[in-house]
Structures are given as structure tokens and as C-alpha cells.
Amino acid sequence: MTEPSGSKTMSEPRGKTTIADGVVAKVAGMAAGEVQGVYALGGGLARTVGAVRDRVPGGRGSVTRGVKVEVGERQSAIDLELVVEYGVPIADVAGDVRENVIAAVERMTGLEVVEVNIAVDDVHLPQEESEDEEPAGGRVR
């Protein structure tokens, strides 16, 4: 049996367990998004493309936007791009994200997380939200 591309197999006494890189990325993305003070994941271009994709009927937001992983047989390394809310202590948010991601990935996959690198690419300002949103009912009245 061949191993799917982008996945790792762990041999156990009674069989093998295969964990795809995308699984680790989803777990990390969900865990990062749960932390208070995180507005979004992804850098400028990734967020722009994602926003367009989210507006397409039937489109879904991606929890892996801004998440890159490297997965070995027993270890993983994770890189995250974040946008934080204005007014929150960035170092504290980054520390909380790091702890939450490590705990979630290790608990759910059994892989040791050797590092979580965090790049804070932007700060979300309260007035940005009101400028980005269209009034209810669309532009035409």
C-alpha cells in the first residue's frame, strides 16, 4: 500500500497510522483561531484571496489559511501568520496561540511539536470592519 502524498505513517505494534499534513494544518488553524485577540489567520494576499473565495456562493472559509506545517514521522513544526485585534498585548496573544496549538496538535495527533513560529502580519482596527461591510440590503435601494 502506498503512502498518500503529504502524509506521514507511524508504525505501531498492530498496524500503521497515517496523518496527512493537511490534518495537522487544520488542527493548528482551529487551535490558533480559538485564542482571544486573534482576528484572522493569513497574510495580506492570502486573506484577500480568501475573502473573495468566502463570498462565492457555496464557498467556505479555510482554517488552514496562514498555516504551514512540516510533518515528520514523530515530530511537526508549524508556521502561522496572524492578524491580531487592536489593543491586545501581541506577545501575550502569540504565547497563548503557541501554547494552544502545541496542546491541540500533540493531543490530537500524538506528534511532538518542536516549534511554532508566529508572524503577526497586521493589526485589525475597529473602524476597518465598518468600512469593509456593505449596508444591509446591498448597495441599491
pLDDT greater than 70 at residue 120: yes
Q: Rounded to an integer, what distance in angstroms lies between the CA atom of residue 59 and that of residue 51?
A: 10
Residue-level pLDDT at 121: 95
Domain-located, residue 70: yes
Domain-located, residue 76: yes
Domain of residue 84, residue span: 16-127
Domain-located, residue 22: yes
Domain-located, residue 87: yes
The pTM assigned to this predicted structure is: 0.76
Domain-located, residue 59: yes
CATH number (domain holding residue 108)? 3.30.70.1350
Domain-located, residue 118: yes
Domain-located, residue 138: no
Total structural domains in the chain? 1
pLDDT greater than 80 at residue 122: yes
Distances from the Cα of 58 to the Cαs of 41, 53, 61, 67, in angstroms? 21, 9, 10, 23
pLDDT per residue as tens digits for the range 50-68: 444 445 555 445 899 999 9
